[in-house]
Amino acid sequence: MAKKSVGPVRREFTPWENPDHPPFIEFRNVSKKFGDFTAVRNLSLKIYEREFFALLGGSGCGKTTLMRMLAGFETPTSGQIFLDGQDLAGIPPYRRPSNMMFQSYALFPHMSVEKNIAFGLKQDKLPQAEIDDRVAEMLRLTKLEQFAKRKPHQLSGGQRQRVALARSLAKRPKVLLLDEPLGALDRKLREETQFELMNLQEELKMTFLIVTHDQEEAMTVADRIAVMDKGELIQVATPSEIYEAPNSIYVADFIGDVNLIEATVSEVSEDGTKLHSTGEGFLIESSQTTEAAPGDKVWYAIRPEKVRIAKGQGDAGAFNQVTGIVWDIGYLGDVSIIHAKVGADNRDILRATFANVSRMVEDPITWDEDVVLSFDRDAGVILTR
């Protein structure tokens, strides 16, 4: 049997697994306080060269502050930031080898598209011929050739976004910082642009650091994601690890949809763990080993798409299955979500989703029907915090 891995493998690029690999960007015990408010709390993080790294979190979690400290717009209250081995302390933003794409795009309204793109190159006093070449290259890369002479207000939202991207890429920075770069675009354009960003990053062989509150965006583009909350890193891992093996209730709940089942540990062995769900009163057998001891209260997190649903009644004493009544059905086109009431007094709700793989369904599951919900031994994760 082939070795099981978590999710699809994106590319052969895992420098973080090698402890000797030198980091490209390093935050070392960085804190930032604004008055009484602590935006970033004693945070350490390593980001590697050519990595596409995402800082993910809700508003006010400190992700933007962290990026702004790297760009030089904020000074850390304590701690150090290194970029390519250089301590960035005391270096003003205009001397840092990073460039930033702003959430508001921050295009210069009084300059044409090509002047906007050339701005950074002019500050470096490059020869005019080289500036022209570079601008032309950027215009081609972002498909903006026909808009070169236009002013920002003569462009649509998507075009403005590309100008901002071209401007921040023009100087070929060591790191490109993207602050909610796609927030203002509509869904379809956002998805297209996500893939364009990934291709650009591959093509230019640069390190990208993106700040976003959109978990789908982070999952799509990033090699690794750091989930932040209240100025601290909760988990730093690949998108599939974050999704399939969250290390806490916060991460499990923040990323995607999840059933969180409160349970008590009944048996711990090398082979796995047995749990007894508190509310629903059903038995769970997990292949995961845990540090929790029998009697401890834990959470069992299972994604709705990993719950199988079938008509009928389950066996009362069997592991990893529970009988319920269909309470709600949500049809989303590609998938359907079923909310089933489970447990002794049908109090708790368990969610299951399934892909609508065929157009015509014989005898479909309907409201108020008895169903069996079941899942595999390795379908969910046991969380202790």
Partner 1 sequence: MTRGPTWFNITSLIAGFSFLYLPIVLLVIYSFNESRLVTVWGGFSTKWYVSLLQNDQLLDAAWVTLRVAFVSASIATVLGTLAALVLVRSGRFVGRTLFSGMIFAPLVMPEVILGLSLLLLFVAMDQTRGFWTVMLAHTTFSMCYVAVVVQSRLVGFDKSMEEAAEDLGCPPVKTFFLITLPIILPGVIAGWMLAFTLSLDDLVIASFTTGPGATTLPMKIYSQVRLGVTPEINAVCTILVALVTLGVIAASIATKRQQVQRERDERAAFGAEG
Sheet of 25-34: strands edge to edge?
37-47, 25-34, 78-83, 86-87
Query: Taking contact as CB under 8 A, which single stretch among the options 87-95, 200-208, 306-314, 357-365 is the one that binds partner 1?
Result: 87-95
Number of residues that bind partner 1 (CB under 8 A): 34
Strands (E), the chain: 25-34, 37-47, 52-56, 78-83, 86-87, 98-101, 175-179, 207-212, 224-229, 232-237, 259-269, 272-277, 283-286, 297-302, 308-311, 321-331, 335-342, 348-355, 370-374, 381-383
148 contacts partner 1 (rule: CB under 8 A): no
Alpha helix (H) residue ranges in the chain: 63-71, 113-123, 128-141, 157-169, 187-204, 215-221, 239-244, 249-254
Applying CB under 8 A, among 58, 60, 93, 294 the residue interacting with partner 1 is: 93
Applying CB under 8 A, among 82, 119, 250, 319 the residue interacting with partner 1 is: 119
99 contacts partner 1 (rule: CB under 8 A): yes
Nearest residue (CB) to partner 1, 92 versus 295: 92
Nearest residue (CB) to partner 1, 177 versus 309: 177
Query: Taking contact as CB under 8 A, which single stretch among the options 49-57, 119-127, 206-214, 362-370 is the one that binds partner 1?
Result: 119-127
Structure tokens at 62: 């400190």
186 contacts partner 1 (rule: CB under 8 A): no
Applying CB under 8 A, among 13, 82, 102, 327 the residue interacting with partner 1 is: 102
Tell which positions 344-383 bind partner 1, by CB under 8 A: none
DSSP tag of 114: H
Nearest residue (CB) to partner 1, 3 versus 110: 110
Structure tokens at 296: 């401890």
CB of 197 to partner 1, least distance (A): 19
156 contacts partner 1 (rule: CB under 8 A): yes
106 contacts partner 1 (rule: CB under 8 A): yes
206 contacts partner 1 (rule: CB under 8 A): no
Nearest residue (CB) to partner 1, 208 versus 300: 208
Nearest residue (CB) to partner 1, 103 versus 278: 103
**Residue 59 CA, distance from chain mean position:** 14
CB of 95 to partner 1, least distance (A): 8
Alpha-carbon distances, residue 5 vs 8, 11, 245 (angstroms): 8, 14, 11
37 contacts partner 1 (rule: CB under 8 A): no
Applying CB under 8 A, among 3, 4, 11, 95 the residue interacting with partner 1 is: 95
107 contacts partner 1 (rule: CB under 8 A): yes
Residues 90, 16, 49: CA angle, nearest 5 degrees:
50
Residue 8 identity: P
73 contacts partner 1 (rule: CB under 8 A): yes
Residue 63 φ/ψ, nearest 5 degrees: -65, -40
Tally of CA atoms within 13 A in the half-sphere of 179 that contains its CB? 22
Nearest residue (CB) to partner 1, 122 versus 297: 122
Applying CB under 8 A, among 32, 162, 167, 224 the residue interacting with partner 1 is: 167
Residue 100 identity: M
103 contacts partner 1 (rule: CB under 8 A): yes
104 contacts partner 1 (rule: CB under 8 A): yes
Alpha-carbon distances, residue 294 vs 291, 304, 344, 385 (angstroms): 10, 27, 23, 16
92 contacts partner 1 (rule: CB under 8 A): yes
Q: Which residues contribute to the site for partner 1 (CB under 8 A)? A: 71-73, 92-96, 98-100, 102-104, 106-110, 119-120, 123-124, 150-151, 153-156, 158-159, 167-168, 171
